Structure 1
Amino acid sequence: MALLSSRSRMFSRTTVAIAAARRGLFYGNDECTRFSNRARQICTSSTILQADGESSPPVSRFPIPDRKTLPDDVQQVMDEVEEKSGFLPNVFKMLSYHPDSFRSFVNYYNVLMENSGNLTKADKEMIVVATSSVNNCMYCIIAHSALHRIYSKNPTLADQIVANVDMAALDSRQRAILDLALAVCKNEPITDEHFTNLEAHGLDQEDAFMVGSVAAFFAMSNRLAHLTSSRPNKEFYLLGRIPREKK
């Protein structure tokens, strides 16, 4: 990747990215599948995400197999995700090192995140952001903050949660969800109050189970990312922050 040494060029192109983010034009829920070519160009720019002379770190500390050598079903999942999203999130590359783990991880992820209870996709991504912040998981914080911005159409809440969850602009329903999720994450006592607080906001026992399950699953995911030194794709940084490309 060619690196620009001119500071003026760096600042001018960075300003373009910041201005785009501040315009507050975000994707709808279905827009996490694809974002503009301009977004990809900006967020992969070495001037924003990479210092002069700095090479990109490896995706994982474990080898990444050639996709063509992987089992057909694993290849199919990777191809479908890449076609739908416009890029292949590095978690799929990292997991491809162990295809059985890849299958199990993707299957349970889909069970949890596609479940049609009273929790929205934004609720679940909020749980992932909050618990991943406690666990200091850079990959999950960055990737799932992007997904939260898209599903919630809120450009700032994920950043607030990562910085200081107690001061984040959460409503009482969101706080009830995160109170249980963070108790699971921190291995703190689970009390009847956690459930009654959820019930007060129309969330039943199955929803509580899903809150805890998402927190528990991503505790594992956070640690797997730590083990593998997984790095987030550059595409995630501005995803949900810049205007969608009009056709």
Structure 2
Amino acid sequence: MTQPAPKRFPTPAIDALPDDIRTRLLGVQEKSGFVPNVFLTLAYRPDEFRAFFAYHDALMEKDSGLTKAEREMIVVATSSANQCQYCVIAHGAILRIRAKNPQISDQIAANYRKADITPRQRAMLDFAMKVSAEAQLVSEADFVGLAGHGFSDDDIWDIAAISAFFALSNRMANVTAMRPNDEFYLMGRLPK
């Protein structure tokens, strides 16, 4: 079995972080019972932490034509293609909870084309994967096809932005050898 890479970038102590970042980490810990490793890892560079999470929140927490579960589907599918263990596991847990479906994230991570999703969601993920792997090939036909499934131009922007943002996240998670917290593995799998 391959061992995880040694920790190249030190995780700062929570009490040594700037007040705004420490407050955010403690708020997440209070809500979820633990601090996800992405917060601790990215806190190594406070200004980048702030920028990353500001954009994350703008994409993932707003009201839009995409449900929160659909946004997580995009993250899981593209993160799987980008071989990002952290994001597949962490966002897979969030997807299971938001979709209220204990199988959906595993299905999407393994092969979204065979997952129990709607044709609309399949079209969304087809486009997300295209943006993630070959954005240079996006054409008017993609916009027409998505509009045929009821996606607005703003929805299409959101699909593209989530795909692009998590490409950055996937690459940083891999470079920093970020590991999923153990808590993520069981979240949303069994009814409460």
Matched residue count: 190
The answer to whether the 8 Å contact 2:87/2:170 transfers is yes
Show the counterpart of 1:140: 87
Matched residue of 1:165: which SS? helix
Q: CA deviation at 1:169?
A: 2.3
Aligned-partner Cα distance in 2 for 1:143–1:59: 21
**C-alpha displacement of 1:158:** 1.5
TM-score, with length taken from structure 1:
0.73
| Higher Rg of the two aligned structures | 1
Q: Distance in 2 between matches of 1:58 and 1:96?
A: 19
Amino acid at match of 1:182: M
1:221 maps to: 169
Question: Aligned partner of 1:212: which letter?
Answer: A
Q: Identify unmatched segments of 5+ residues in structure 2.
A: none
Is the Cα contact below 8 Å between 1:176 and 1:194 reproduced in 2? no
Give distance in 2, aligned partners of 1:68 and 1:139.
25
TM-score, normalising length: structure 2: 0.93
Given the alignment, which residue of 40, 61, 64 partners 2:8?
61
Show the counterpart of 1:124.
71
Distance in 2 (CA, whole Å) between partners of 1:151 and 1:165 is 17
> Which contiguous aligned blocks of 4+ residues in structure 1 show a shift greater than 6 angstroms?
none
Choose between structure 1 and 2: higher helix proportion: 2
- 5+ long unaligned stretches in structure 1: 1-53
2:191 aligns with: 243
- Cα RMSD after superposing both structures: 1.8
TM-superposed CA distance for 1:59, in Å, is 9.0
Farther off after superposition, 164-173 or 235-244: 164-173
SS at match of 2:114: coil
User: Which amino acid in the other structure matches residue 199 of structure 1?
Assistant: A
Letter aligned with residue 70 of structure 1: L
Work out which structure has the larger RCO, using CA pairs closer than 8 Å and 6 or more positions apart in sequence: 1
Structure 2: how far apart are the matches of 1:58 and 1:108? Answer: 28
| Counterpart Cα distance in 1 of 2:145 and 2:63 | 21
Q: C-alpha distance in 2, partners of 1:106/1:215?
A: 15
Q: Does 1:172 align with 2:172?
A: no
Corresponding letter in the other structure for 2:44? Y
Mapped to 1, the partners of 2:173 and 2:29 lie a distance apart of 20
